[in-house]
Amino acid sequence: MAKIVLIGAGSHVFSSRLITDIMSYPELRDSAISLMDIAAEPLKLAEAFAHRIVEQNKFPTKIEATTDRRKALNGADYVIIILNVGYKWKEADRKITLKYGLDQGDTATMGPCGVFNGIRHVPPILDICRDMEELCPHAWLINYTNPLAIITWAVNDHTHIKNVGLCHSVPHTAGTLAGYIGVPVKEVSYLVAGINHMAWFLELKWRGEDAYPLLREKFRDSAVYSGSGATYAGADVVRAEMFKTFGYYVTESSQHVASYVSLFRKKPEHIKQYRLSDGTQYQKNFQMWAAQDHQKDKQLEDQVKSNYRFPIDHSGEFGSIIIHSLETGQPSAIYGDVKNNGLITNLLQGSCVEVPCLVDRGGIHPCYVGNLPPQLTALNQTNIGVQQLAVQGIIEKDKNKIFQAILLDPLTAAVLTIDETHRMVDEMFEGEKPFVNGYK
């Protein structure tokens, strides 16, 4: 029987998905699932949902819920993290960056907001790892929390815990590309490598043949990618322009990717040109997403109370796929964020890279990729430098390294002067007081 711990289980939308994923495998139904969150009330609903799944299907799965992290971690085999620390500070950070004329877009992974997101998340996750080193030293840590690359890098360099970072941007982008060329995604194969949210489809094939010529032909009509329904996040103009310019398709959405480079969000007219959401629209989006999450929580609560029969299907997330392969030995292939130990030879060794991984009973085995094309390396390295300095700044509690990381962010550097960046970072530190004690 495996013990699977889910930390941040009060985030019902994601935790319910992962719980269902685990129970979708007959071989994992005799597991013990420990749900942990510091917020007791949201945790109760996650626990009620899990119990309902077990009861409806007469599974032997053992469910427990606790606000005591050490109790949850004791004897664990797998620890899945879906934390969201300081959500209100994320919006406060965005308002500060907008005040300085930096309309960043994505606030979770890169840029000033992404670095401060790392300041909020790295310390508690390292605390979890220290508990794991004592209570379950051989367990696997499976992390979904952003900023994924910064967190994974910190865990690799400052703990002994086996770990992998997970993101769904590779399979989601594969589905988008299959839609563009008008074929079923199951007929598409691909090789992707790079860094999280900026990994590259080095190969894209349909029925074994190169599909890039077909994609280029489709993209001769800009309506294919510029409409509001092009992707789940809207128009895909930025990624189409990146593909036309650099020759390879990049993961994540155009809304995200535009935040990681200096080319698309420098001025309001550029944001409009590339069909991107500006700061005002993002504020509306956050309010809309918060309302949707509240509505989903209420729907889940009503379903649990009404004895709604929950389907046992799999979301496609990699977390339970990994656990299933490690437990049964049945091989699987996933994309994971791991330490670059010679995997991508022309990216900084020791950095965090996203590569294909094979999983079996022996562990998670990242695949050798070799050199990326030089233009892709150049784009990735601009982000890797920021991540490296951010990790060092967080670990050392060094304000200057945090400032340097943000100063070297490609979009920040394209929009702000050194002095403007300094003032902005100082203001963000002032606003993040609960999380920056001891920084010098």
Q: What residue type is assigned to position 266 of the chain?
A: K
Candidates 135, 140, 149, 29; CA nearest to 81 is 140
Evaluate the CA torsion angle 247, 277, 84, 49 in order and state its sign: negative
Place of tokens 């992404």: 114
What does the alpha-carbon distance between residue 130 and residue 385 come to, in Å, rounded to a whole number? Answer: 26
What does the alpha-carbon distance between residue 101 and residue 115 come to, in Å, rounded to a whole number? Answer: 18
Does residue 230 sit in helix, strand or coil?
A: coil
Give 91-149 as a DSSP string: HHHHHHHHHTT------SSSHHHHHHHHHHHHHHHHHHHHHHHHH-TTPEEEE--SSHH
According to DSSP, the residues that pair with 5 across neighbouring strands are 34, 79
Does residue 278 sit in helix, strand or coil?
A: coil
**Is 168 annotated as catalytic?**
yes
Candidates 21, 46, 20; CA nearest to 34 is 46
What does the alpha-carbon distance between residue 162 and residue 364 come to, in Å, rounded to a whole number? Answer: 9
Which is the catalytic residue, given 51, 158, 168, 172? 168
Q: How far is CA 305 from CA 45, 297, 392, in A?
A: 10, 12, 48
Place of tokens 């994505």: 106
| Residue 109 near residue 352 (C-beta atoms within 8 A) | no
Q: Are strands 62-66 and 32-36 parallel, antiparallel or unpaired?
A: parallel
What does the alpha-carbon distance between residue 250 and residue 408 come to, in Å, rounded to a whole number? Answer: 21
Active site (catalytic) residues: 168
